[in-house]
Amino acid sequence: MTSNGSWLASVNPACKLIAHLCVMFMLMAVSDPVITLCLWLLAVVTGIVLGGWRIGYLLKRLLPYTLFFVLIFWMLAAFGKGEHVIWQWAWFRVTEESLNNGLTIGLRMLGFVTYGLLFTSTTDLTALMMSLIHQLHLSPKWAYGMLAGFRFIPLFQSELQQMKSAHKIRGYKQKNSWKAFTRYALPLFTQGIRKSERIAVAMEARGFTGTRDRTYYLAPVMEGKDWVYAAGLLVVAGGIIWLLKFM
Amino acid sequence: MNWKMKEVVLTVILAVACGVLYLGWSTLWIPISALVGPVGAGFMFGIWIIASPIVAYIIRKPGAALIAEVAAAAVEMLTGSHFGLSALLIGVFQGLGAEIAFALFGYKRYNVFTLMLSGALAAVGSIAYNLIANGLGYYTTQMFFLTLGIHVISGMVLGGLLAKVIVEALARTGVLNPYEIMKSRRKQGKSHAVASRV
């Protein structure tokens, strides 16, 4: 997770996270497909205007989710409750209400994904952790522990790939996914535990005790523009809901 | 909470490993749920909560189950899950559910029963979130209880029981020797030894 250097990337990460979570709660409270669509469009527009998203990037990141969207829509449309039956076959029963609900939930999921992407594509991991320490009073022990741990994501991914190749070259064929799971999970966990012990020893050896009483090379503060972004996003989202619901 | 640095990093790294597995599992979930429907695909649910029982079983501290699940969910979100920010929120619900199971016994009992209970309660937490956010309330009543049942069973087997199997396998390799799980076992072993000598 690295920031992409847009204006949105300069907003305080903790503030941004909370603002996006608030919009998510709004999305959860809305049960109308049109309002949900507008809130999703708000995320897309914010991403393009403030988040530095190119159209190509947007399509590349969001297209895979359209399959997911269709799936969620179908699940609710065919298995949901409702009175006005439109089409019925075997155990599938499509009604007006279920179509409406399916559309709402599908768009809501798309909204969750887009607000998540808006956050992850514009936030630097180190800045986020520092912001969690300073703004949300997370203990440095956990923040630095997580920073150390998150460095292992790419390592684990490449290790998993390596194990797969090693198995392949020795002629191991994946018979069922249950066996394959333990075969890959076990070495991954053992390696992880060994590494975690070494990291902890290294951190303590370098004088890291995990107390709050320390110096920071990065100390994010809340500025005017952070408040403006959070308030702006919430006011516009709230305005959309109010306008479409009561006008 | 007097967490040692060793335990903090262990929790985070196991959560990261689980998060990477979750992500793979999430990708697998899409084609399977397209094939057998969302209710049928519920049997895959248990893997997504495995971080809680694994870490709580090894560390045996209050809060371990919740922290591990939230951290694993955060990793899944940061590495680009198709559930977006909701992956993080659902992690909080599942972690809280799993935590209750260990809290019920005052963080004293760690056996197959509590591990499976934590899996079941994590499933309940996940269903509670789905009820609020993902429109599970729009399903027919029959469909809803079927989904709940499948999730609970999957949480017990693929979450609790599998966690037990994995941790026992890890314990045999000896990497867990410096942690609470083996410490308490050594203590028990020692008391047995003393008793037999007396």
Q: Please write the tens of the pLDDT for every residue from A165-176.
A: 888 898 877 666
Residue B73 near residue B54 (C-beta atoms within 8 A): no
**Same domain assignment for residues A82 and A12:** yes
Has residue A234 been placed in a domain? yes
In chain A the beta strands, taken as DSSP E runs, fall at 85-89, 92-95
A109 interfacial to chain B (CB closer than 8 Å): yes
Q: Give percent of chain B with pLDDT exceeding 70.
A: 92
Has residue B189 been placed in a domain? no
| Residue in the structure block whose two tokens are 């599992």 | B25
A136 interfacial to chain B (CB closer than 8 Å): no
**Same domain assignment for residues A164 and A193:** yes
**Same domain assignment for residues A183 and A124:** no
Q: Please write the tens of the pLDDT for every residue from B132-167.
A: 887 777 777 888 888 899 999 999 998 899 999 989
Q: Which of A 159-178 lie inside 8 A of B, CB atoms?
A: 160, 177
d(CA B85, CA A168) in angstroms, rounded, equals: 35
Query: What residues of A are in contact with residue B12 (Cβ under 8 Å)?
Result: 142, 145-146, 148-150, 196
Has residue B157 been placed in a domain? yes
**Same domain assignment for residues A117 and A145:** no
A94 bridge partner residues: A87
**Residue of chain A nearest B129, judged by CA positions:** A28
* Residue of B9, B83, B138 with shortest CB distance to A101: B138
Query: What residues of A are in contact with residue B158 (Cβ under 8 Å)?
Result: none
**Same domain assignment for residues A112 and A164:** no
Evaluate if residue A132 carries a pLDDT over 80: yes
Residue A20 confidence (pLDDT): 93
* Residue of A65, A141, A193 with shortest CB distance to B3: A141
Q: What is the DSSP letter of A87?
A: E
Evaluate if residue B198 carries a pLDDT over 50: no
Has residue B110 been placed in a domain? yes
**Same domain assignment for residues A101 and A46:** yes
A187 interfacial to chain B (CB closer than 8 Å): no
Residue B192 confidence (pLDDT): 59
**Residue of chain A nearest B28, judged by CA positions:** A177
Has residue A135 been placed in a domain? no
Has residue A214 been placed in a domain? no
d(CA B91, CA B88) in angstroms, rounded, equals: 5
A197 interfacial to chain B (CB closer than 8 Å): yes
A44 interfacial to chain B (CB closer than 8 Å): no
Choose among B148, B149, B7: nearest CA to A149.
B7
Has residue B73 been placed in a domain? yes
Has residue B94 been placed in a domain? yes
**CA distances in angstroms from A40 to A34, A100, A104, B88, listed in the order given:** 10, 17, 11, 19
Residue A52 near residue A4 (C-beta atoms within 8 A): yes
Domain enclosing residue A197, as ranges: 140-206
A153 interfacial to chain B (CB closer than 8 Å): yes
Closest CA of chain A from B103, distance in Å: 22
**Same domain assignment for residues A198 and A179:** yes
Has residue B183 been placed in a domain? no
Residue A156 confidence (pLDDT): 84
Whether residues B173 and A190 touch (CB distance < 8 A) is answered with yes
**Same domain assignment for residues A79 and A176:** no
Number of domains in chain A: 2
**Helix, coil or strand: residue A85:** strand
**Same domain assignment for residues A63 and A93:** yes
**Same domain assignment for residues A39 and A159:** no
A180 interfacial to chain B (CB closer than 8 Å): no
Domain enclosing residue B105, as ranges: 5-177
Residue A6 confidence (pLDDT): 83
Query: What residues of B are in contact with residue A101 (Cβ under 8 Å)?
Result: 135, 138
Q: Please write the tens of the pLDDT for every residue from B85-127.
A: 888 889 999 999 999 999 999 898 899 999 999 999 999 999 9
Tokens of A246: 């009561």
Has residue A2 been placed in a domain? no
**Helix, coil or strand: residue B43:** helix
Residue range A206-221: mean pLDDT, rounded: 85
**Residue of chain B nearest A109, judged by CA positions:** B83
Residue B54 confidence (pLDDT): 93
Tokens of A20: 């996006």
Choose among A233, A228, A245, A230: nearest CA to A45.
A233
Residue B194 confidence (pLDDT): 52
Evaluate if residue B48 carries a pLDDT over 60: yes
A68 interfacial to chain B (CB closer than 8 Å): yes
Residue B187 confidence (pLDDT): 85
**CA distances in angstroms from A27 to A22, A36, A115, listed in the order given:** 9, 7, 11
Q: Give percent of chain B with pLDDT exceeding 90.
A: 39
Has residue A212 been placed in a domain? no
A92 interfacial to chain B (CB closer than 8 Å): no
Has residue B36 been placed in a domain? yes
Number of domains in chain B: 1
Evaluate if residue B29 carries a pLDDT over 80: no
Has residue B187 been placed in a domain? no
Choose among A106, A102, A120: nearest CA to A57.
A120
Q: Please write the tens of the pLDDT for every residue from A49-102.
A: 998 888 888 888 888 777 777 777 777 776 666 666 666 666 666 777 777 888
Residue B195 confidence (pLDDT): 52
What value does the mean pLDDT of chain A take? 85
**Same domain assignment for residues A69 and A145:** no
Residue A244 near residue A156 (C-beta atoms within 8 A): no
**Same domain assignment for residues A21 and A113:** yes
Query: What residues of A are in contact with residue B21 (Cβ under 8 Å)?
Result: 185, 188
**Residue of chain B nearest A208, judged by CA positions:** B5
Q: Among A37-41, A94-98, A153-157, A223-227, which is the least confidently predicted range?
A: A94-98
Query: What residues of A are in contact with residue B79 (Cβ under 8 Å)?
Result: 153
